[in-house]
Amino acid sequence: MGIFENKLRVALSDDFLQALNELPRNTSKKVQRFIRQFRSNPTATGHNYEKIENAADPNMRSVRIDGSYRAIVLKPDQGNIYVLLWVDNHDDAYRWAERKRCVVHPETGSLQLFSVDEEEYVSHDGADEQRQEAQSMLFEQWRDRNLAQLGIPEDLLPVIRKMRHIDDLEAAADSLPDDAYEALFWLSQWQDLERVYREVVLVNREEKKEEVDTEDFAAALENIQSQRKFVIVEDDEDLERILEARLEKWRIFLHPSQHQMVHVDVSGPVRVLGGAGTGKTVVAMHRAAYLAEELLDNDDRILFTTFTKNLARDIEENLKKLCSDQAMRRIEVKHLDQWVHQFLRNQGYDQKIEYYQEGSGVLDELWQQALQVRPRDLDLPKSFYREEWERVIQTYACTNERDYLRARRKGRGTPLKRSARRKIWPVFKEYRNLLSDRGLRERDDAIRDARKLLENAGDILPYRSLVLDEAQDMGAEAFKLIRAIIPEDRNDLFLVGDGHQRIYRHPVVMKHCGIDIVGRKRSFHLKINYRTTDEIRKYAVRLLEGWPVDDLDGGEDWTDEYKSLIHGEPPKVCICDSWSEEVDAIVDFVADLDDRDLTRSCLVVRTKKQRRQYEQALNERGIKTYNISRDQYDRREQEGLRLATMHRVKGLEFDRVIAAGINDGTVPLAFRLTNTDDSAVKQEVEMQERALFYVALTRARRAALITCHGTPSPFLQ
């Protein structure tokens, strides 16, 4: 018997919650009432358990919801656990149950739900079958006991043995248990049984546990691998939390690798890397909740920060859903600029912080004045000076000519001798003087001032730990400030980012900023995309192929082990002859969506001007729209097709994404590439533009449409 034998327990599967989400509203309410009654007493005679004839699993039972709908329950003959697996209309629910099994795997101890219908595992692509005839079996070099060690159900070994190609495995993805599919996929890629066992199967386990009791379903549900698909309902409050969160399953289920990162206890900073859709922000939010509720003392405070205001607002709203009120009072969520502004104001700082915008604003006016003293004999374009200011002067905090002469210019495409540096230094000196005369500071100057104030004042802040999302968009001064905010200590910094999504800043080496990531247990890499279909992921990743991406600490990141377990159609590309034809294509794409599905869809464009143009055109054609603005998070109670710029959708996700206006000269923006003569800067700008498009496409969960009119973007070729 298991350790939970004296207590009746109820659990819900991920599949059950997904089926619940698809039900008509009135039926959904009935099912939720049933769940509440069922949880309070699963053995009540009123539930009318019925045995399912011809069921593949003898533990399957049906229970009545109403005259038309049935729930499928795992009801073992012995033990104390009841698992709600599926809900559907009567006939479909029975057909589902007839071909499913739910078992405890004898090697891994995880609870697995899978189909025993071999037809579900067969690829019906005739061309693939012909191509595969000449190929060997995909897993023929490993014995049955090897595959069982990785968590492959014994019932499915004959199916696995028939697979000839990775396409066969991917065709079976939706029918295999997630942990089994993931292990088989990495085995097909790595060809290394021990590595798969160590890195995929033994997540959160130092060694194999005692012999597995395959009849102890309660113990199986405590297994970390099981918790990616099943959740135990502890009490009424827990049930209400789960039902509220069922549309946002990231609040309920964690992949074992995510669980490991969230619950790590280490003596220093932690870095988490991962491609789009791998759940980096989810991990960061769960980490903040774990710090507040479990790991830190009750009076310790946590600062959760990120790069932009809208992302901070979205994160705060989601944390409120994830954390208790008590834990939330200990977590302060602010984007870094907001934190800096508030801190400096509290310290009596009398300088005004301004943000540079090319072609407008007071800083651009002062910059144009400073350029009047540039040396004419060097024949350097005006754009060179601003690039030098941002990439060298500000990066290395050059306050005098001597600092500038010593500064490294790595990554600058235009070489400069020391004599040339002396000639152009007066431009930067004049600009600083103009800023000082007006009582103004640029963003990097203000961040640097905040750091120096902290270093001089000592330990004056209440924070014990800091969680940073979108770390790739932070500059060197920001990382130095982050190190100053949180003194070095156990579990001090938790930094999450992805160089593939860098759309604001140039690369920074964190160890040069005082943040030293050392040891295997302090550096993690998320590999599984939980949001986007693998077909959309592949399309998006191709945008960055051949472009080196850093790992935020001087090394190189990779995407060759980045994979989605979800499958669907590849993005549809629609190249139209005219603007009107493009709008018609968009209307056709959303025409059959109901209000709920339209609200879960987003049209993404490169510029605000484009957003206004598409908004007007769609409204004229009767499509309701909703703008996701910089100052407001996505309010899901407001109906309408979401409209947003590529910058604004970062951190968000939708069932469908329409990337519109992907024209030559717009993606990438032509003026960004033509505004510099520096080859290194051009390359960096193009990488940022590619990253923006990558970000936009990977917001999609199910489907993506790419549209343009006239000459398509070179990124579409």
Q: Which domain holds residue 84?
A: 9-230
Considering only residues 357 and 61, tell me which one the structure prediction assigns the higher pLDDT.
Answer: 61
Residues 528 and 594 occupy one common structural domain: no
Residues 84 and 27 occupy one common structural domain: yes
With 60 as the cut, is the pLDDT of residue 127 above it? no
Structural domain includes residue 240: no
With 50 as the cut, is the pLDDT of residue 5 above it? no
- How far, in Å, CA of 593 to CA of 572, rounded? 17
With 70 as the cut, is the pLDDT of residue 126 above it? no
- How far, in Å, CA of 458 to CA of 452, rounded? 10
Residues 697 and 609 occupy one common structural domain: yes
Which of 433, 467, 488 corresponds to the end of one domain? 433
Asked whether 9 and 82 are in contact (CB, 8 A), the reply is: yes
User: For position 415, what pLDDT does the model report?
Assistant: 85
With 80 as the cut, is the pLDDT of residue 551 above it? yes
With 70 as the cut, is the pLDDT of residue 131 above it? no
Domain count, the chain: 4
Q: Which amino acid is at 59?
A: N
155 burial (CB, 10 Å; 0-12 / 13-18 / 19+) is: middle
Confidence of residue 684 (pLDDT cuts 50, 70, 90): confident
> Who's near 193: CB < 8 A, 6+ residues apart?
142, 146, 149, 150, 187
Global pTM reads 0.88
Residues 121 and 14 occupy one common structural domain: yes
Residues 289 and 322 occupy one common structural domain: yes
Confidence of residue 4 (pLDDT cuts 50, 70, 90): very low
SS (H, E, C) 603-669: EEECCHHHHHHHHHHHHHCCCCEEECCCCCCCCCCCCCEEEEECCCCCCCCEEEEEECCCECCCCCC
Summarize the confidence of residues 20-37 as an average pLDDT.
94
Asked whether 219 and 3 are in contact (CB, 8 A), the reply is: yes
What digits encode the pLDDT tens for the residues 573-627? Answer: 999 999 999 999 999 999 999 998 999 999 999 999 999 999 999 999 999 999 9
Cα–Cα distances (Å) from 425 to 23, 363, 366, 404, 430, in that order, read 68, 18, 16, 8, 9
And the tokens for 596?
Answer: 């709920």
Residues 412 and 311 occupy one common structural domain: no
Q: Where are the beta strands (DSSP E) in 328-457?
A: 331-335, 352-353, 440-441
Which of 522, 542, 562 corresponds to the end of one domain? 542
Structural domain includes residue 456: yes
Structural domain includes residue 350: no
Structural domain includes residue 472: yes
Structural domain includes residue 4: no
Q: Which CATH number belongs to the domain containing residue 94 in this structure?
A: 3.30.2310.20
Structural domain includes residue 389: yes
Which of 230, 215, 205 minimizes the C-alpha distance to 85?
230
Structural domain includes residue 563: no
With 80 as the cut, is the pLDDT of residue 675 above it? no
Asked whether 184 and 71 are in contact (CB, 8 A), the reply is: no
Kindly report which listed range (160-164, 300-304, 536-540, 637-641) carries the lowest average pLDDT score: 637-641
- How far, in Å, CA of 49 to CA of 96, rounded? 17
Which of 404, 433, 462 corresponds to the end of one domain? 433
Residues 144 and 284 occupy one common structural domain: no
Structural domain includes residue 63: yes
Asked whether 147 and 108 are in contact (CB, 8 A), the reply is: no
User: For position 388, what pLDDT does the model report?
Assistant: 93
Residues 645 and 712 occupy one common structural domain: yes
Cα–Cα distances (Å) from 12 to 273, 293, 382, 705, in that order, read 31, 24, 63, 34
Residues 576 and 700 occupy one common structural domain: yes
Residues 600 and 525 occupy one common structural domain: no
User: For position 123, what pLDDT does the model report?
Assistant: 66
Which residue in this structure is represented by tokens 């298991």? 2
With 60 as the cut, is the pLDDT of residue 206 above it? no
Q: Which CATH number belongs to the domain containing residue 583 in this structure?
A: 3.40.50.300
b (16+ CB within 10 A) / e for 399-422? eeeeebeebebeebbbebeeeebe
- How far, in Å, CA of 131 to CA of 165, rounded? 9
> Concatenated DSSP letters for 105-138?
-TTT--EEEEE--GGGG----HHHHHHHTTSPPT
SS (H, E, C) 293-362: HHHCCCCCEEEEEECCHHHHHHHHHHHHHHCCHHHHCCEEEEEHHHHHHHHHHHCCCCCEECCCECCECH
Residues 455 and 575 occupy one common structural domain: no
Residues 129 and 197 occupy one common structural domain: yes
